[in-house]
Chains A and B, each alone.
Chain A
Amino acid sequence: MYEWGPPGNPPIALMHGGLDFAATFDLLAPLLVESGYRPVAWDQRGHGESARAALYSWQADLRDAVAVLETVSSEPIPMVGHSKGGMMAMFLAEALPGRFSHVVNIDGVPTPKSAVTDVSDQDRPDELASGHEAWLDRRRLSAVAKRKPGSVDDLARRRHRLNPRLPIGWLRYLAAIGSTNDGDGHRWKLDPSIPVGGFGPRRSQWAMQVMTSLSEPLLALVSTVDEPMGWHIDPDEVAPFLPPRGVLEVIEGGHFLHLEQPEELRRLIVDFVAAP
């Protein structure tokens, strides 16, 4: 768990996205301190410095978040989440009414067509079974699997393929913090058994219902540039499903808006949270 700023400042929770870690807030958090807040972030289980677990699930991530937030404040606090963290923020707000004053979702709102993972069988002849078999093959190796080693520069360059808009210097910073040197090179600390993709019954309408029925003020930030790690959100499709106190802002940029434009995000978040 990480905290920035004086203990007396009002807290604001920051939740990182899937496969990431809290250091992705190292640009935004100090700006929020300047604006008088006490940002609080943590590495999710199996990510960054946090312990690797035997099991990972959406429910476990939500429960871990509640355990962290219980140590922060018993008053309603604003909550910011990026990508998967933004989706988590909405599910947490629904499950814990009155616990959060505001929800800010950075490029992680659901859309009617996203996450439709269970397409009809006409659209996927043998694709599903073979995908599951490949996943099972990886699980059979999971007790011994390791990430590919390399120098910090190698890790930064690989990550650059996923985040082509981020400066290589910043990716080197992330790679240096997010990796350890095992003797034969640096590897990301992220647990290699955490599924990329994976499968399970996920339906976009379940997440849409959660968003639509939020009673807290919601600021949904949507990026304009598609990236490999992005969610390809079409703001026109999202707008009809905003909750009564929901605001959608489209921002020129990529999926990691808080890394690309920390000043702009600070302004948007602080203005939104200060409004009644």
Chain B
Amino acid sequence: MSPSRDPYGDPTWLQHNRVKLALHQLDEHEKRVGHPLLLLHGLGEESPTELPAWAATWPGSVYALDFTGHGRSTVPEGGGYTPEILIADADAALARIGPATVAGRGLGAYVALMLAGSRPSHVRGAILCDGPGLTGAGPEPPRGVIAGLDEPSTSRESPDHWALLELSQDPRPPDYAVNFVRDASNGSPVEPAIAVVATESTPWLDAVVAEPAVVVLSLEAAIELYAST
């Protein structure tokens, strides 16, 4: 990984248990107005190296987090990934930057939803976008399969082989996802708490979209909505 990939200096390092997480700031460090935007990448991806064009109008600072096993964050030994532990990765970023709007791609969208439901007072809107790792295993776990058993690896390269295997085989039941929508709606300072930009159809996301408190709109419109709240 090139040391110059952060446009405005080195990442901030966050300690989450035994993992060092890389939090990148994508805007200039000048004083910004308004709350920050936190970007969560998809499965096997890493944070963007520059401010995405669609986020250019964001009035506050824009950050992007490399999940455990991704980008410049620690690649631990022996796997053990769950989407739930990644909620705590993202929460470590909130602990540093304060309440934020959270935009996630694929796996990051699922994590953004669960973060909004778990830490509702600190998420000023979650934007769920298409991207890799959106579906997981689907509503049920695969039967008779132990993730990664036939493809053992001791590689510590990023993205972590175990992350790719385990986070594409975890079950994501629609009613489980809907619980987070309701918790987010009950506790969020903004309304609607969840904005869906993704157009891909997958059971958990379809159930989220069907919730009355969820709005479906374009990425630009979602950014405008939460920039002003």
Contact = CB atoms under 8 A, between A and B. Distances in A.
A66 B176 contact: no
Contact of A55 (B85, B117, B118, B186): B85
B166 A57 contact: yes
A182 interface: no
Interface residues of A, number: 40
Contact of A129 (B74, B120, B147, B166): B120
B1 interface: no
Interface of B: 15-19, 68, 74, 76-82, 84-85, 87-88, 91-92, 95, 114, 117-120, 140-141, 143-149, 166, 169-173, 175-176, 179, 182-184, 186-187
B102 to A, nearest CB: 14
Interface stretch (A35-43, A196-204, A238-246): A196-204
Interface string A107-150: 00000000000100100001011001101100110110000000
A250 interface: no
A54 B17 contact: yes
Given A56-B80, A129-B118, 15 more contacts: A52-B18, A53-B76, A54-B18, A55-B80, A59-B147, A59-B166, A59-B169, A66-B146, A92-B146, A95-B146, A132-B117, A136-B88, A200-B84, A201-B173, A210-B143
A209 B171 CA distance: 15
Interface of A: 45, 52-57, 59-60, 62-64, 66, 91-92, 94-95, 97, 118, 121, 126, 128-129, 132-133, 135-136, 139-140, 142-143, 193, 198-201, 203, 206, 209-210
B80 A121 contact: no
Given A126-B186, A129-B187, A55 B81 contact: yes
A4 B228 CA distance: 67
23 contacts: A55-B79, A55-B85, A57-B85, A60-B79, A62-B149, A95-B146, A121-B182, A126-B186, A129-B120, A132-B87, A133-B118, A135-B88, A136-B87, A136-B118, A139-B16, A139-B92, A142-B16, A143-B18, A193-B18, A201-B173, A201-B176, A203-B173, A206-B140
B19 A54 contact: yes
Contacts, number: 128
A234 to B, nearest CB: 25
A118 B180 CA distance: 11
B76 A139 contact: no
A163 B141 CA distance: 33
Q: Interface of chain A, helix or strand or loop or mixed? A: helix
A85 B44 CA distance: 32
B119 A136 contact: yes
Contacts of A118: 173, 175-176, 179
A54 B84 contact: no
A76 B118 CA distance: 44
A62 B68 contact: no
A88 to B, nearest CB: 10
A54 B76 contact: yes
B88 A60 contact: no
Closest 7 CB pairs of A and B: A55-B80, A54-B76, A132-B118, A129-B183, A60-B80, A139-B88, A142-B17
B82 A57 contact: yes
A59 B87 contact: no
